[in-house]
Structure 1
């Protein structure tokens, strides 16, 4: 689904509108878009009622759309090769979970969830964007958020308007798309980040309460950058490993007699682990320590000590590699080579089993770190990683 790259900034909303005109020979009624995200820290804590700290990427997925009067959903997508792929039209009243394969399941799932909210009108939707797919940067959630805003907008429920659903409500609907329609047992992190993040900030979210805070994150003021390293190894939340980890943490909470692992006090961790079967110990240790790392990083950011967060990124990666066991050789190599080349801290980001890593790097050292990671991949015989500097950007909204 990624759009074409080049020297000029890619504008997803313009690409989607142009593709819509190509498919339907008319202009769309509107264009809505949503960003991918990077999670600075706080991995696999969201479905444990914990804390997360994501920010939105400048990379976006746009949905150009117009209403239909026949109750059908027509979806098409503009690929990175410039070709448009169209799915067979779907009757919204006939949609059922797990009944559609491939990328079309995501917009179909949105229509299915919104049907329960009384929104049953048909639509023509054409998608375009440059959020890398399979990179752990939440391309599927960006798609679902953009389509949600498009279908809501066509029904007269524009975002942030009186009587319209809130961003938090839409995030929970998108979670239903993933969990119930697509069959991926994800939490609330990705869609909430896509909908609620703001420019120049990280979003400190308490998943249990829904309370959030925009925390300033100006790396440039400290001469630093966040470098994203796409390992180019695909991952999918619908695959078994993610679900196994989630079921393990839920089983641990049940054995401990608590609602979620969020309720395990950090200072009581060792005693708590002694009450659990050996196979659940590392999962619980990761979640509890990761929640504490989020709180520690937020405290440092509030104190204006951003350069000091690097060791917490490092510790997060070790925890995901050794305790949660969701890293890969490619991600470990990206993290290790970035650190060896001078990064202040690095970790894999996202659900794991592939995807991307991030590194906190001095601005002047970005080329050196990129070269070191690329050289390490070359030595292993892997294709070169994709790297870019990530800047906290605006969340979802209407573009035209």
Structure 2
């Protein structure tokens, strides 16, 4: 990370002609369990990973917001005071929609965009894009904490998560919930964030993977996904329709014991979407209970059950994800599941440390045998949330 910081400072100075006033970073995340529950007011259990987005920021004296990145030749700039008009006119697009969308959303949460100073922003990231590890939330969260500090807004981490979600929903156009930004902003090392997406109350739950001799292996299938495309939106709309048919505001209000009634009322597809959300909420609660009482070695079956539900009831898995999960379990993982919104992206496997290499080799071989592109596999560690770098 120190090399990334140094390189970013050098690039920033070369781009702007002056040194950065600071470096901020925010992590991607793995969702241990609790998928497609956040926008139904449910429970989630993500943790930050040791892959991060970095942001170099320098103040300007002309009121202009300029955004550049290490992964694009494009540079976007406009006066901060024009953000609202640019959003209304649909001018905030492409990759710049993430940082510019956060700046706009801060205005929606009380920042006086006519009075704050301009800034230069340069973004770098080693969070894989399209892998289901929330590369977008990492960028949004880094921008949010940086602008909150230099614009002296004094917003809470919970509010900054809402800022990132507003940017994602209204500017990027992805109908995501609050989980990703909350994980990026609230996480602590060696712990997960147990988040109630209805009340936004959160608790830090120790994970203890290393002490238990376990590692979290990410299997990036290489199948790109995008939350702003139709499948994700259709699943959300199906959940909303199911809640309305059951007479509740959100599926959070439906318990497992009410699924028999739901089966009688709903068509088959809507029922299966509802069943996933209801049972997934219970799996999150059960996982938290087991982590606290027995430790991480006890949660494997819950991870497996989550994947089956996502595959069969919510239908957001793909053959590559199913193969990754099945191969990992067949070669020593105590549990595995797809993570993220689905339709591609990554799976995670909870693996004994001395079995990691065997699982990696087996997954590589299985993908080759099935004619799939080579996956990327790597271990992630539960890490700290967004912060200003030294």
Verify same fold: TM over 0.5.
Answer: yes
**Residue of structure 2 aligned with 1:331, choices 321, 329, 334:** 321
* Among 180, 187, 202, the residue aligned to 1:212: 202
Corresponding residue number in structure 1 for 2:130: 134
Deviating beyond 6 angstroms after TM superposition, the runs of 4 or more aligned structure 1 residues are none
Counterparts of 2:3 and 2:105, CA distance in 1: 28
The question of 1:105 aligning with 2:97 is answered yes
Q: Which residue of 2 aligns with 1:118?
A: 111
Matches of 1:283 and 1:321, distance apart in 2: 11
Equivalent in the alignment of 2:50: 58
Q: Tell me if structure 1 keeps the 8 A contact 2:218–2:378.
A: yes
Change (3 A) 1:305 1:148: closer
Correspondence for 1:46 among 38, 51, 56? 38
Structure 1: gaps spanning 5 or more residues? 1-8, 158-163
Match of 1:350 among 340, 343, 365: 340
**Residues of 2 paired with 1:273 and 1:99: CA distance?**
45
The CA deviation at 1:257 is 1.1
**1:161 equivalent in structure 2:** none
Q: CA deviation at 1:119?
A: 4.0
- Post-superposition CA distance 1:188-237 (Å, at most 9, x none): 00000000010110111111111111111011111111111111111111
Give the 3-state SS of the residue equivalent to 2:211 in structure 1. helix
Give how far 1:71 is off.
2.5
1:297-316 Cα shifts (integer Å, max 9, x gaps): 11100103321111111110
Within 5 Å, give how 1:19-168 maps onto structure 2: 19-79=11-71, 85-92=73-80, 93=82, 94-96=85-87, 98-116=90-108, 117-120=110-113, 121-157=117-153, 164-168=154-158
Measured in 1, the distance between the counterparts of 2:208 and 2:372 equals 33
Alpha-carbon displacement from aligned partner over 1:337-359 (angstroms, at most 9, x marks no partner): 11111111110000001111000
Aligned with 1:95: secondary structure? helix
User: TM (normalized to structure 2)?
Assistant: 0.95
Q: State the partner residue of 1:242.
A: 232
Query: 1:165 deviation in Å?
Result: 0.6
Work out whether residues 185 and 243 of structure 1, in 8 Å CA contact, stay in contact via their aligned partners in 2.
yes
User: For residues 51-103 of structure 1, what are the alpha-carbon distances to aligned partners after superposition, in whole Å with 9 as ceiling and x for unaligned?
Assistant: 00000001110111112233321111113xxxx62323123313215433321
What is the distance in 2 between the residues matched to 1:47 and 1:15? 38
Aligned length: 382
Residue of 306, 313, 330 corresponding to 1:340: 330
RMSD: 1.4
* 1:11 CA displacement: 4.8
Residue of structure 2 in register with 1:6 after alignment: none
TM-score normalised by L of structure 1 = 0.92
- Distance in 1, matches of 2:106 and 2:78, equals 15
Shift of 1:277: 2.1
Q: Conserved in 2, the CA contact under 8 Å of 1:145 and 1:191?
A: yes
- Report deviation, 1:271: 2.2
